[in-house]
Amino acid sequence: MTLPFRSLYRHGFVRAVLCAPVLALAHPRANAEATVAMARDADGDGAAVVLFPEMGMCGYSSEDLLLQAALLDAVDAAVAAVARETAALRPLIMIGAPLRLGHSVFNTAVVLHRGRVLGVVPKSFLPNYREFYEKRQIAPAAAAPAREIRVAGQLAPFGTDLVFAATDVADFVAHVEICEDLWAPNPPSIAGALAGATVLCNMSGSPITVGKGADRRLLCDAQSRRAIAAYLYTAAGQGESTTDLAWDGHLFGYEYGELLGEAPRFAPGASTLSVDIDVERLVQERRRVGTFRDGAMAAPAAFRTVEFALDPPAGQLPLRRLIPRFPYVPDAPQRLDEDCFETWNIQVAGLLTRLRATGLQRLVIGVSGGLDSTQALIVAARTVDRLGLPRSNIIGVTMPGFATSDGTRAAAWALMQGLGVDAREVDIRPLCTQMLRDIGHPGAPQYDVTFENVQAGLRTDVLFRLANHSGGLVVGTGDLSEAALGWCTYGVGDHMSHYNPNASLPKTLIQHMIRWAIATKRFDAEVCAVLETVLSTEISPELVPAGEDGVAQSTQAVIGPYALQDFHLFYTLRWGFRPSKVAFLAETAWGDSARGNWPRGVEPEAYDLAEIKRWLAVFLRRFFATSQFKRSATPNGPKISSGGSLSPRGDWRAPSDSLADAWLEELESGVP
């Protein structure tokens, strides 16, 4: 089945709905009716899996009632009713029920699909401490006398060695464990993940005490990271007995350490939470992380895979999940501050270590008045501060050329003077004029690549010869975005240096690093005012004079908006997604300007799908086909984030002769 472009199921996502019904304690028929009603709503919402709490057919707090034959008979009838009444529904439905097998009662998760009992998973670890006395009524999974169970008139697989795999939705494989299983030293979900499960489900009774909500989040977060999986959690809510305990109906989900959503706790009635899970992302990461594969090879037990056909919704189903417009810049203020602090210190630590290793005490940096050289200069300033060296040990050089504006030249001088570095100016125009004449180039107005690169090359010569003369180290200024797009001249300024602290910083993060330096008052008011000016300046190489219309050379008019291209870079480099999925995510993030989230309240423009497709094609050509030879010869510089770097010695090893056709063809065929 071919799904429409705007269906989340087409792009490797599945929707899960977590439910906390109002329980009718020890009344299975009523609980079955509530379960069916919520399952129908979830089906209408396009869900692939619906998860209910532990013992949801009768109540976790049933205690010794679990040894009453009448209640257990009613539970079996309730499971049969849920199976029968949900036979026409799409999603996998997981319900909690106490079931008899052999000489014991087991606390189980019953997994249903279209009226069929796909399997029954018993609880492995039974709490029997403080307020818990489960072993009084319940047997652990290890005591199971058989690998099958008859329930709701059907014979179904029974055991903790079950995963449930959709045959028609790639990478959607589910595993379920029950409450205390997660708190054990060896949770069953680890084995489930190693067996291929991408969606780990926990149906929990879990009464609430102060601080326990935070404990649950920590455990589920960690489990999702360790297992490279989604981890979904449901806890019992209203209706459980409050004889000695209370219940909060906690519903939340994590995906590889990212909180997908959390429902309000202590809801007065039934509660649900819908989350969209990127199962393709999880599988991509597992392929990348060899440790996961090694763990799977060492896993001792074989699992049984129960297959089912989901038949995902055929119509459009937009992604509800908020996709950040700026994936390199976290939305949460505290996380953003922490990331900026770490970024700043990684840059400083890298440059400081290199300076110590060389035995040099001077830094040489070209200062243009633009974003990249500004960030590199303030990092250099902090580096010499930490070394106890005077800032005059930094030689800052502004090198006006044929198109240098008064504004950027003034900003460069103001920044160097404000920071107290050894500020110098070398006018490269006479040198450029001579070189153009020597190679037979007519000069202005023939504004070709030679005209531009003569300026870039001579600036580099000045910096390296000045470093030789002064006993200094040339600090690079080129950034990750420029490296990805090949927007740098081979072997010169923004490409070559002795050490480049900006090497792994995308343009959008550099912009915010400068904002962060202002907001946290890393420098005095005079310097911060210059930083504000730099942020408001049009991004331009300033190599070609403005035309008769007065419009200056614009980088983003040629290679695309950096904000959008950084988005494309992140999902291509970090996750290896197909171009059509990158476009789908970009439209989700950028198609509606009201959903944007940009630090300090600055709201950028939105982009429609046609614009996204156009600039993504530019990105793919430049990234895969024309720029690798430049990245293969880049100077050292520290990796900044898990978003990746383009160092040929680190995150990205690729041939310089590759073609972009496969990516461009997928984009053309996959995006309307």
What angle do helix axes 609-620 and 579-590 make, rounded to 10 degrees? 140
Q: How many helices (H) and strands (E) does the chain have?
A: 20, 19
Quick one: which of 556, 558, 554, 560 has its CA closest to 542?
A: 554
Q: What is the DSSP string of 202-267?
A: EEE-----TTHHHHHHHHHHHHHHHHTSEEEEEE--TTS--SS------EEEEETTEEEEEPPSS-
Tracing tokens 């990271």 back to the chain, one arrives at 225
Quick one: which of 178, 157, 163, 323 has its CA closest to 229?
A: 163
* CB contact at 8 A, 253 and 16: yes
φ, ψ for residue 205 (rounded to 5)?
A: -85, -60
A 10 A CB-CB count for 83 gives: 24
Active-site residue list:
54, 123, 179
φ, ψ for residue 221 (rounded to 5)?
A: -60, -50
* CB contact at 8 A, 463 and 488: no
Please give the distance of CA 505 from its chain centroid, rounded to a whole number.
16
* CB contact at 8 A, 36 and 86: yes
Task: Round to whole Å and give the CA distance between 203 and 177.
Answer: 7
CA distance readout (Å), 65 to 246, 278, 553: 19, 41, 79
Task: Round to whole Å and give the CA distance between 463 and 497.
Answer: 9
- Radius of gyration (Cα) for the chain, nearest Å? 30
